Amino acid sequence: MKDILVLADGEAVSRAAADLVQRACRAAVEARGVFSVALAGGSTPRGLYSLLATDPAFRDSIPWDRVEFFWGDERHVPPDHRDSNYRMAHEAMLSRVPVRPERVHRVPSEQPDPAVAASLYEAELRRTLGDDRGVPRLDLILLGLGPDGHTASLFPGTQALSERRRVYAANRVDSLATDRITATFPLLNAARQVVFVVAGAEKAPAVRSILAPDPDTPVLPARLVRPEGGTLHWVLDRAAAGQLTGDGVRAGGE
Ligand code: 6PG
C-alpha cells in the first residue's frame, strides 16, 4: 500500500512524519513490546527528530525505552564527525529523551574498512531483532531522497543497488568520492512501514520520476523501495510535490 501526503511546508512535513512515527511505535509496542526504527540521515529529518524530542505531544507519549534505534545509512566517518548521521540524530533527539543507551545501535563507522563496518552492523541488527537467517523486519524505516533519486546511500550507478543477500553493505560513491555504509533493498523492502520525508523544490524532478514516471523515465534508486508486505508513505511538502498532478495524492491539513 502506498500513501502520498502533501503538506504546506517543512514544518508540516515534520509534524506529519512525527505522527506516523508515534502511531507505528505505539502499535509495535502494543503488539510486540518493542519498536524497531531505522533513522534517516541528511538534513531534512533534523526537524522531525527535534519535534519528537521537544513537542510534549510526542515527547511525553512515545515509550522511548522500548525503542530500538538503527540507521538506514551512515557516512564513513567517526560518530563525532560533523557529517555523521548518528551525531545529527543524537544532537536533535537521542540526547534529549530517555532512550536506553544499549538500544541505540549506531553504525561502527569508525571502522577503517567500511565492509567490516557493514558486516558488523548487519550482525548487530540480526542479533537485536532475533532474525539470523531471513531478512530482518524493522517496524519502520525513515528515508530521505536526494535530487538524483538516491535514498539511504543507494546512489545511482553504485554497487550496493544490486545487493540482494546482505541487508547492509559498504558502498563506494564515486560522485561524492566517499564510502558509505547503507541498508540494501532487501532490508528496506521487508519493513512494516517505510516513510519518505522529502522537502524542497530541488527534489521535485526526482519525486515526479519516482511517483509519476513516464514510460521511458529511468528507474531511480528510491523507486525500487516497495515494501512487499508493508506500507509505503511519502510525506512531501508542496515544493517537492510541485511536479505531481493530483492523482492519488492526499493534501495534508493546513
Ligand atoms: C544521507 C542520507 C541521504 C539523504 C538524502 C537527502 O546519509 O545523506 O541518508 O539519503 O536522506 O541525501 O538529504 P537531505 O535531507 O539533506 O536533502
CB distance 40 to ligand 1 below 6 Å: yes
CB distance 42 to ligand 1 below 6 Å: yes
C-alpha cell at 175: 560522485
What integer best gives the mean pLDDT of the chain? Answer: 96
Other Cβ atoms less than 10 A from the Cβ of 132: the count is 9
At residue 117, the 3 state secondary structure works out as helix
Alpha helices in the chain (DSSP H): 10-32, 45-54, 56-59, 85-92, 114-129, 185-188, 204-211
Q: Tell whether the model's pLDDT for residue 201 goes beyond 50.
A: yes
What's the confidence (pLDDT) of residue 94? 98
CB distance 95 to ligand 1 below 6 Å: no
> In order of start, what are the domains of the chain with their CATH numbers?
2-243 (3.40.50.1360)
| pTM (2 d.p.) | 0.97
What is the number of the ligand 1 atom nearest to the C-alpha of 40? 9
What's the confidence (pLDDT) of residue 253? 59
- Give residue 3's identity as a one-letter amino acid code: D
Phi/psi for 199 (5° steps) reads -145, 145
Average pLDDT on 155-167 reads 98
Name the packing angle between helices 45-54 and 85-92 (round to 10°).
30
Residue appearing with cell numbers 524505516: 141
Q: Tell whether the model's pLDDT for residue 46 goes beyond 80.
A: yes
CB distance 90 to ligand 1 below 6 Å: no
What's the confidence (pLDDT) of residue 49? 98
What's the confidence (pLDDT) of residue 133? 78
Residue appearing with cell numbers 537521542: 94
Phi/psi for 75 (5° steps) reads -80, 155
Q: Tell whether the model's pLDDT for residue 142 goes beyond 90.
A: yes
Q: Tell whether the model's pLDDT for residue 95 goes beyond 60.
A: yes
At a CB cut-off of 8 Å and minimum separation 6, what does 60 contact?
none
CB distance 222 to ligand 1 below 6 Å: no
What's the confidence (pLDDT) of residue 254? 44
Q: Tell whether the model's pLDDT for residue 110 goes beyond 60.
A: yes
Q: Residue 142 C-alpha to ligand 1 middle, in angstroms?
A: 11
CB distance 43 to ligand 1 below 6 Å: yes
Average pLDDT on 105-117 reads 98
- The Cα–Cα gap between 62 and 10 comes to 22
Q: Residue 182 C-alpha to ligand 1 middle, in angstroms?
A: 12
- The Cα–Cα gap between 196 and 65 comes to 25
Q: Tell whether the model's pLDDT for residue 204 goes beyond 80.
A: yes
Separation in Å, CA 27 to CA 87, 104, 193, 209:
28, 20, 12, 32
Q: Tell whether the model's pLDDT for residue 160 goes beyond 80.
A: yes
At residue 69, the 3 state secondary structure works out as strand
Closest CA to 17 of 119, 142, 190, 184: 142
